[in-house]
């Protein structure tokens, strides 16, 4: 090992070394300066929770030697830092976006070790949980943990009380992160620091814990469990409402909605262009084309109105795609993947038939053997996620969408939105020779698109009505939901027509189409005249 002697680094506060040696081309000079500067800031932050006596020596592992370092020391593949009792080994550089949080995490471990080196009274998992909290690394797969706590809580609790979690549990870090989040959010930094100070004198964890925090360690674990289960019950109710909204969305739209929920953004106006009227050219040769209900422009609306930009990535190999996803997830950035239902174990089509399919990837196993996915199939069951093993992913992956958050637009009025919408949806039902209604496969798909498109457009209208507290738009939304349901019934009639003697239901189907079309025409004219009252003052959410 070679100590860093570079003149540009002020390392008076501790020793900084590089393994196997310092190579200037491997390290960003500006970033190293930022790192050294941040050490003192991190130490101040850690001292809010526990007394850090000094910053231990730092050892940077060069990129080409990190994999070997992890293997030789039997460490998890995802590790970015480790305190070995003497120094902190960092496997990071300027490409790691969360390096500050990793520094905080390891300095916390160093502080605990410095105080209790000769008397290790702090449970290992509890030490790890608070390190994750002060390192702001508290994202975990809530659905999987909730399922485990529902089924395995007593055995998990035993591992926590006996400090055997890290050695005996198959996936301890989900538990550790969630407890760290619970504990850090319910007890102040001042009380935590008092606890560690008192513990250094008394050296009895359970007694000191109860005296400082006013409850036993076991009760604290029970309260953590209850908080997770309460979230599950609340989310079950929320998911029921969300399932209703997602029921007519395709897999890509569903993934977009779930992504928006995760990043805490609205999404409804991405459906604002989903109303497609029937074109004026009503001839037999173009019926299928004319009934096409929407164009794929929801991404531009999602970006313009809600500030969520999706970028498409087409990796050359499955390995590069996998690595990209893992890196995004490490930064707590979910991605959307295009895959194949045949290879989705949670999907009803698994192993049966092939169909292009989108789902949102929101997590990974600690072993790196599978991804966790969310889609509308998951919301229909009690399961909170699906699992995508690496082999399945490698066999089926096609595209990856990753997101950027931009500023949201709050500078529009409802009439601005309507002006753009109405321009695209002129319709004329004067001509009506629907003679090719026997085009079964094509028409069923077209009518399916129509009623789903109307339903989505109604969602966008409802969002506008709620945002601007506009009764007129709310009525538009109600009417569009009715129209959507009318088109859905037409599709059902058409399906029944193919099961009955040919042609019997065609007159009734045509009648329903014309009536719904006229209803749409009336609604279009009303929206074209909006606003019918003085313009309201714009207000932001």
Q: What is the pLDDT of residue 84?
A: 92
Both structure tokens of 13:
């506060």
Q: What is the pLDDT of residue 426?
A: 44
- Residue count of the chain: 541
80: nearest Cα among 109, 120, 47, 122: 109
Q: What is the pLDDT of residue 274?
A: 78
- The domain at 308-405 falls in which architecture? Alpha-Beta Complex (3.90)
| Angstrom distance (rounded) from CA 117 to CA 359 | 47
Whether the pLDDT of residue 109 is over 80: the answer is yes
Q: Which of 44-58, 225-239, 430-444 ranks highest by mean pLDDT? A: 44-58
Q: How many angstroms from the chain centroid is the CA of residue 403? A: 10
CA distances 144 to 47, 151, 220, 233, Å, are 34, 11, 21, 14
pLDDT: which is higher, 275 or 177: 177
pLDDT tens, position by position, 179-191 = 999 999 999 999 9
pLDDT tens, position by position, 457-494 = 999 999 999 888 888 999 999 999 999 988 888 888 88
26: nearest Cα among 87, 94, 102: 94
Whether the pLDDT of residue 292 is over 80: the answer is no
Question: Which band of pLDDT confidence, cut at 50, 70 and 90, is reported for residue 247?
Answer: confident
Whether the pLDDT of residue 384 is over 70: the answer is no
Whether the pLDDT of residue 404 is over 80: the answer is yes
| Angstrom distance (rounded) from CA 330 to CA 485 | 43
Average pLDDT, the chain: 82
pLDDT: which is higher, 199 or 437: 199
269: nearest Cα among 238, 240, 310, 307: 307
Query: What are φ and ψ of residue 492, in 5° steps?
Result: -65, -40
How much is the pTM?
0.55
Q: What is the pLDDT of residue 171?
A: 87
Whether the pLDDT of residue 290 is over 80: the answer is no
Q: What is the pLDDT of residue 278?
A: 41
Question: Which band of pLDDT confidence, cut at 50, 70 and 90, is reported for residue 532?
Answer: low
What is the mean pLDDT of the segment spanning 429-445? Answer: 52
Both structure tokens of 16:
């900084």
270: nearest Cα among 302, 308, 303, 311: 302
Whether the pLDDT of residue 499 is over 60: the answer is yes
pLDDT: which is higher, 206 or 244: 206
Both structure tokens of 407:
């500023």
Q: What is the pLDDT of residue 335?
A: 95
Q: How many angstroms from the chain centroid is the CA of residue 84? A: 34
What is the mean pLDDT of the segment spanning 77-93? Answer: 93
Burial tier of 259 (Cβ tally within 10 Å: 0-12, 13-18, 19+): buried
pLDDT tens, position by position, 295-347 = 346 788 899 899 999 999 888 888 889 889 988 887 888 999 999 999 999 88
Question: Which band of pLDDT confidence, cut at 50, 70 and 90, is reported for residue 441?
Answer: low
Give the residues across from 3 on adjacent strands.
17
Residue with tokens 């036993």, as numbered in its chain: 216
Q: What is the DSSP letter of 279?
A: P
Q: What is the pLDDT of residue 229?
A: 85
What is the mean pLDDT of the segment spanning 386-407? Answer: 89
Domain ranges of the chain: 1-118, 140-239, 247-305+408-528, 308-405
pLDDT tens, position by position, 421-436 = 655 554 433 333 344 5
């Amino acid at each position: 090992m070679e100590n860093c002697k570079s003149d540009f680094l002020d390392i008076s506060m501790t020793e900084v070394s590089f393994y196997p040696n310092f190579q200037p081309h491997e390290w960003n000079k500006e970033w190293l300066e930022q790192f050294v500067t941040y050490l003192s800031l991190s130490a101040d932050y850690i001292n809010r929770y526990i007394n850090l006596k000094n910053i231990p020596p730092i050892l940077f592992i060069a990129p080409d030697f990190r994999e070997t370092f992890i293997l030789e020391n039997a460490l998890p593949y995802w590790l970015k830092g480790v305190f070995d009792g003497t120094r902190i080994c960092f496997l990071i550089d300027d490409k790691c976006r969360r390096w500050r949080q990793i520094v905080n995490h390891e300095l916390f471990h160093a502080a605990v070790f410095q105080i209790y080196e000769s008397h290790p009274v702090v449970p290992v998992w509890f030490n790890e949980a608070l390190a994750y909290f002060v390192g702001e690394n508290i994202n975990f797969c809530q659905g999987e943990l909730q399922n485990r706590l529902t089924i395995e809580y007593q055995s998990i609790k035993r591992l926590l009380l006996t400090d055997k979690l890290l050695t005996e549990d198959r996936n301890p870090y989900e538990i550790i992160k969630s407890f760290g989040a619970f504990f850090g959010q319910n007890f102040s930094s001042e009380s935590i620091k008092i606890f560690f100070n008192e513990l250094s004198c008394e050296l009895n964890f359970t007694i000191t814990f109860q005296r400082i925090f006013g409850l036993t360690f076991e009760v604290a674990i029970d309260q953590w469990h209850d908080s997770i289960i309460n979230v599950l019950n609340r989310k079950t109710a929320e998911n029921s409402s969300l399932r209703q909204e997602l029921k007519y969305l395709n897999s890509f739209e569903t993934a977009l909605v779930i992504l928006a929920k995760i990043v805490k953004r609205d999404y409804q106006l991405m459906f604002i262009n989903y109303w497609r009227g029937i074109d004026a050219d009503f001839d037999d040769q173009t019926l299928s084309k004319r009934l096409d209900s929407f164009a794929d422009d929801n991404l531009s609306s999602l970006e313009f109105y809600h500030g969520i930009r999706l970028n498409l990535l087409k990796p050359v190999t499955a390995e590069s795609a996998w690595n990209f996803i893992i890196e995004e997830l490490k930064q707590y950035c979910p991605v959307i993947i295009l895959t194949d239902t045949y290879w989705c174990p949670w999907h009803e089509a698994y192993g049966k038939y092939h169909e292009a399919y989108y789902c949102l990837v929101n997590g990974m196993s600690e072993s790196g053997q599978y991804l966790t996915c969310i889609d509308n199939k998951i919301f229909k069951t009690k399961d909170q996620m699906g699992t995508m093993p690496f082999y399945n992913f490698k066999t089926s992956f096609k595209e990856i969408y990753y997101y950027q958050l931009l500023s949201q637009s709050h500078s529009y009025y409802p009439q601005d939105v309507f002006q753009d919408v109405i321009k695209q949806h002129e319709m004329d039902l004067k001509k009506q020779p629907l003679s090719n209604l026997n085009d079964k496969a094509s028409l069923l798909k077209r009518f399916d698109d129509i009623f789903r498109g109307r339903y989505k457009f109604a969602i966008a209208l409802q969002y506008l009505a709620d945002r601007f507290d506009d009764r007129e738009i709310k009525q538009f939304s109600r009417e569009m939901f009715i129209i959507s349901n009318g088109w859905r019934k037409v599709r059902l009639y058409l399906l029944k027509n193919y099961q009955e003697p040919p042609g019997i239901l065609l007159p009734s189907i045509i009648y329903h189409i014309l009536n719904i079309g006229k209803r749409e025409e009336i609604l279009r004219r009303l929206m074209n005249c909006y606003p019918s009252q003085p313009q309201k003052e714009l207000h932001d959410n």
